[in-house]
């Protein structure tokens, strides 16, 4: 039987998972990435990772993926064309069944601001569901509650190609400052937690509220983009009555559209916020928002 311990990454082809896996490889530890299919197998193997093909809602395939795991990075991949809530139930249950069989040392779970709230948060309810289930496991675990993703601005930035002076915003009013976070800082924090196994005792749960360098508004994001492009870009609120038809263009399921509307309402009203309290650790990332927005602009110009 193999005794080598692995740092296991779910969602390794996704926005945060690929960064987590790459940073673990930089630490020269044994990395195993979980993929849904053979796409990118060769890429990961060339980088030095072990690859396991598994369905995240199938515990029988996850057991193989979780064998000999030291730490596991767990996340709920977006599936916006499906029923978000039915899917997270299946994935969470499969995770738990596989974890109980394989007994890894530690779990690091990608969660969200507002994940302590059971209702009224739209998509974030999926993190509430998964967190509540995993919290019951008798194992070391760190929940990374991430702020509003700065990379959520990728689509509005891409739309500048057709309307170079207008940055459309679901965040209303456009001077509303929200805590935001970059994928880079999520990966840095997650890897630090995965590698730090000895510092917390068995069954110790750590909750980390993770945000970036500052709270930022759509107006301020537009100002940064204006500076980077040497163009006048103005933030423009998207009228709420237009949200359903705009979201419908992305092939979202009806339940996903309603979840996104509730999500945006929750942020805009101030309902979705940090839990805080003595049992929560607050961390600020160090990645420059301007550097990330610059990269998103570069992507826009190459497509």
Q: Is the pLDDT of residue 209 over 80?
A: yes
pLDDT, tens digit, 9 for 90 and up, residues 119-173: 999 999 999 999 999 999 999 999 999 999 999 999 999 999 999 999 999 999 9
Q: Quick one: pLDDT band at residue 251, thresholds 50, 70, 90?
A: confident
Is the per-residue pLDDT at 303 higher than 60? no
The per-residue pLDDT for 299 is 76
The overall average pLDDT reported for the chain is 94
237 Cβ neighbours under 8 A, 6+ residues apart: 169, 172, 173, 174, 218
What is the rounded average pLDDT of the residues 176-193? Answer: 98
Instruction: Determine which of 1-5, 31-35, 118-122, 224-228 has the lowest per-residue pLDDT on average.
Output: 1-5
- Predicted TM-score (pTM) of the model is 0.95
Q: Answer yes or no: are the C-beta atoms of 56 and 96 closer than 8 Å.
A: no
**pLDDT tens-digit map of 23-64:** 999 999 999 999 999 989 999 999 999 999 999 999 999 999
């Amino acid at each position: 039987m193999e005794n080598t311990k692995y740092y296991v990454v779910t969602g390794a082809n996704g926005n945060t998972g690929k960064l987590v896996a790459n940073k673990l490889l930089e630490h020269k530890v044994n990395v195993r990435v979980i993929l849904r299919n053979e796409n990118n197998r060769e890429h990961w193997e060339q980088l030095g990772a072990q690859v396991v093909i598994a369905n995240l809602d199938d515990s029988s395939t996850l057991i193989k993926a979780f064998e000999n795991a030291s730490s596991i990075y767990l996340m709920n991949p977006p599936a916006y064309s499906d029923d978000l809530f039915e899917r997270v139930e299946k994935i969470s249950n499969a995770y738990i069944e596989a974890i109980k069989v394989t007994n890894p040392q530690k779990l690091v779970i990608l969660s969200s601001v507002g994940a302590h709230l059971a209702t009224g948060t739209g998509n974030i309810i999926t993190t509430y569901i998964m967190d509540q289930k995993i919290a019951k496991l008798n194992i070391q675990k760190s929940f990374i509650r991430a702020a509003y993703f700065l990379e959520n601005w990728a689509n509005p930035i891409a739309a500048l190609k057709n309307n170079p002076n207008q940055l459309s915003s679901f965040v209303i009013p456009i001077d509303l400052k929200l805590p935001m976070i970059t994928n880079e800082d999520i990966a840095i924090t997650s890897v630090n937690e995965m590698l730090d196994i000895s510092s917390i005792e068995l069954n110790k749960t750590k909750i980390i509220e993770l945000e970036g360098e500052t709270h930022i508004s759509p107006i301020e994001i537009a100002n940064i983009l204006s500076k980077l492009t040497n163009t006048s870009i103005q933030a423009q609120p998207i009228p709420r009555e237009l949200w359903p038809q705009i979201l419908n263009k992305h092939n979202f399921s009806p339940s996903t559209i309603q979840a996104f509307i509730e999500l945006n309402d929750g942020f805009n009203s101030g309902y979705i916020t940090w839990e805080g309290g003595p049992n929560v650790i607050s961390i600020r990332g160090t990645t420059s928002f301007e550097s990330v927005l610059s990269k998103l602009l570069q992507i826009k110009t190459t497509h």
